[in-house]
Amino acid sequence: MANEKDTIKLVMPKALKIRFKALCVRAERDMSSIGCELIESWCQEQEEAEAKRRESDTRSD
């Protein structure tokens, strides 16, 4: 199950998509793998920030 994949659709400005695609090509990487890395990183940042907020709330109680 860990290897299951799903699809998401993003709506973004055309110029941004062109930049992203060009940079992925230059890096010899596919857009999906870069997108997954970026989303994973963002999720991690959000979870860490959420944990810090909970920790801070617990201390102030």
Report the length, in residues, of the chain. 61
Which pair of tokens denotes residue 20? 């992203």
SS3 call for 37? helix
What is residue 57's predicted lDDT score, i.e. its pLDDT?
84
Most distant pair of Cα atoms in the chain: their distance: 51
Please check whether residue 24 is in contact with residue 17, taking contact to mean a CB–CB distance below 8 angstroms. no
Q: What is the DSSP code (8-state) at residue 28?
A: T
| Tens-digit pLDDT profile for residues 16-49 | 999 999 999 999 999 999 999 999 999 999 999 9
Delimit the domains of the chain by residue range.
35-61
Q: Is the pLDDT of residue 5 over 80?
A: yes
Greater confidence, 4 or 60?
A: 4
